[in-house]
């Protein structure tokens, strides 16, 4: 989202800014998704979230709207978010994305999801059964950065 547009939104009264954003969302999506509708009564959170979301998903020029929706569908599928899936499939359909293109994005997401499960699972099995594993594990969790200090089972 361009800085001038952000400044214009922030200069409005909160209720007016919310109304304008909701109208824009409905124009773009053809509906107002549940989360957006839920947050509309909290302007201080709603406006900042929508500015961020629009900056990331709608305003940059490197990807067309169909590609953005296919990515949304793939991620929603991988995360198993039924509500996001339904919304983004409807939006993609309105944009002219074919059923086959939508299915392809779901297939790609399932392949990556499966690979992620296999990558984590096989590394854990390998680490546990590795011959050179002695005493305490020294590996940090890549997500939480907590050092695992579980003793090796006898």
Element (H, E) at 79: helix 65-79
The CATH number given to 63-123 is 1.20.1290.10
Say what the pLDDT of residue 108 is. Answer: 96
Say what the pLDDT of residue 85 is. Answer: 96
**What is d(CA 144, CA 121) in angstroms, rounded to the nearest whole number?**
18
pTM: 0.69
Say what the pLDDT of residue 134 is. Answer: 47
Show me where the domains of the chain are located.
1-61, 63-123
69-78 long-range contacts (CB < 8 A, ≥24 apart) are: 69/95, 69/97, 70/97, 70/101, 70/102, 70/105, 71/105, 73/102, 73/105, 73/106, 73/109, 74/105, 74/106, 74/108, 74/109, 75/109, 77/105, 77/106, 77/109, 77/110, 78/109, 78/110, 78/112, 78/113
Q: Is-contact 95 64, C-beta < 8 A? A: no
**What is d(CA 151, CA 84) in angstroms, rounded to the nearest whole number?**
41
Say what the pLDDT of residue 154 is. Answer: 58
Q: What DSSP character marks residue 147?
A: B
Say what the pLDDT of residue 131 is. Answer: 62
Mean pLDDT, the chain cut into blocks of 10 residues (154 residues total)? 82 92 90 92 92 79 90 96 95 97 97 91 90 53 60 60
- Alpha carbon 8 to chain centroid, angstroms: 27
**What is d(CA 119, CA 113) in angstroms, rounded to the nearest whole number?**
10
Say what the pLDDT of residue 53 is. Answer: 86
């Amino acid at each position: 989202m361009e800085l001038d547009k952000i400044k214009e939104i922030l200069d409005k009264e909160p209720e007016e800014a919310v109304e304008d954003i909701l109208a824009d969302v409905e124009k773009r999506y053809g509906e107002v998704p549940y989360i957006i509708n839920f947050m509309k009564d909290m302007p201080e959170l709603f406006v900042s979230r929508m500015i961020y979301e629009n900056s990331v998903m709608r305003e940059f020029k490197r990807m067309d709207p169909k590609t953005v929706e296919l990515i949304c569908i793939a991620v929603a599928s991988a995360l198993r978010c039924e509500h996001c899936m339904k919304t983004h499939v409807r939006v993609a359909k309105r944009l002219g994305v074919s059923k086959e293109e939508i299915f392809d994005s779901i297939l790609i997401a399932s392949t990556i999801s499966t690979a992620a499960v296999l990558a984590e699972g096989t590394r854990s099995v390998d680490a546990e059964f590795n011959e050179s594993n002695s005493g305490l594990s020294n590996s940090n969790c890549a997500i939480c950065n907590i050092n695992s200090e579980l003793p090796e089972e006898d």
